[in-house]
Structure 1
Amino acid sequence: MDTVRHLEDGTIQKSTGEIHFGWVLEGRAIQDIWIRPRRPAPSTMYGTTLRIFDPGIGGWHIIWSDPLNQDYSRQIGRAEGKDIVQIGDDSRGLKTRWRFTEITANSFHWIGEERSSERDPWHITYEHLARRTSP
């Protein structure tokens, strides 16, 4: 994946990384591993997401954990048109919205946003442009 980090001063930082997705828990959940930058460089982010579908809410319970940076988030994810949108709170108490857009069989655009309260506008913090490299 190619990553763009949007800093508060308006500058951006670019890096690369890798993501690994798979079904886990006897096919009851999806787990992914996010690594940035791409190995073998030392990681600045190394985390995992667990997504479990709940038919009662018609959405996914999502738990993100990056123990390297002590960054954690709980969200609910649902389809919105052609996109997947996950909304919740992170370990800093910020509201988070993660959007998977431009989804194809071999790629997607992930947009991470945050805000301090419901009244504040969303601002983009990260973008990941991911593409499949193997079947």
Structure 2
Amino acid sequence: MASELAMFGRLVGDWHVRNSLYSEAAGTWSESELLWTFDWIIAGRGIQDVLVDETGTALGTTVRTWDERAGWRVVWFCPRAAEHVVLTAEGQGDQIELTGVQADGRRVRWMFSTIATDAFTWDGWCSNDHGKTWWHEQHMKAQRLTR
């Protein structure tokens, strides 16, 4: 089980994030600086992260737990935007792909890529037509602050 837990375990620590977020309504990108903290929970069988903006306000949290029967089960909560997403995750080399459905029925595909000890990239895509087409909603470049 150690190798399965290492998939997200390598992200444990604090990360400085340069965030680009696309507004579907406005058709524009906005930029921000974020802090993303990952840590072990429930006796090392899961990992939780908290994403915080530059004012110190928590934007949301993700809980990831390992289930030996089903693999990674992942849930993202963002009360400020009334978002709740249930996902599954699979590792592929230096990438982790997550797929799921938001509470409103919109499909999402998230990807951690180019994961190294001191940096990673995260991208999020959305589909409004059940996965026929996808649009790029978010891009984050993370640099490790602590381990």
Tell me the secondary structure at the aligned position of residue 125 of structure 1: strand
Identity in percent: 26
TM-score by length of 1: 0.88
Q: Check conservation: 1:74, 1:90, Cα contact below 8 A.
A: yes
Gaps of 5+ in 2: 1-16
The letter of the residue matching 1:20 is T
TM-score by length of 2: 0.81
Mapping of 1:29-108 within 5 angstroms?
29-36=46-53, 38-40=54-56, 43=57, 46-57=59-70, 59-108=71-120
1:88 & 1:113 partners in 2: Cα distance? Answer: 11
- Rounded to whole Å, the distance in 2 between the matches of 1:102 and 1:49 is 20
Q: SS of the residue aligned with 1:6?
A: strand
Q: Matched residue pairs, number?
A: 130
Q: Deviations over 1:63-99 (max 9, x none)?
A: 1111122111000001123210000001221001110
Question: Which is bigger in relative contact order (C-alpha 8 A, separation at least 6)?
Answer: 2
Regions of 4+ moved over 6 Å: none
> C-alpha displacement at 1:117, in angstroms?
3.0
The RMSD of aligned alpha carbons is 1.6
Q: CA deviation at 1:4?
A: 0.4
Deviation at 1:10, TM superposition (A): 4.4
Alpha-carbon contact 2:107-2:131 (below 8 Å) kept: no
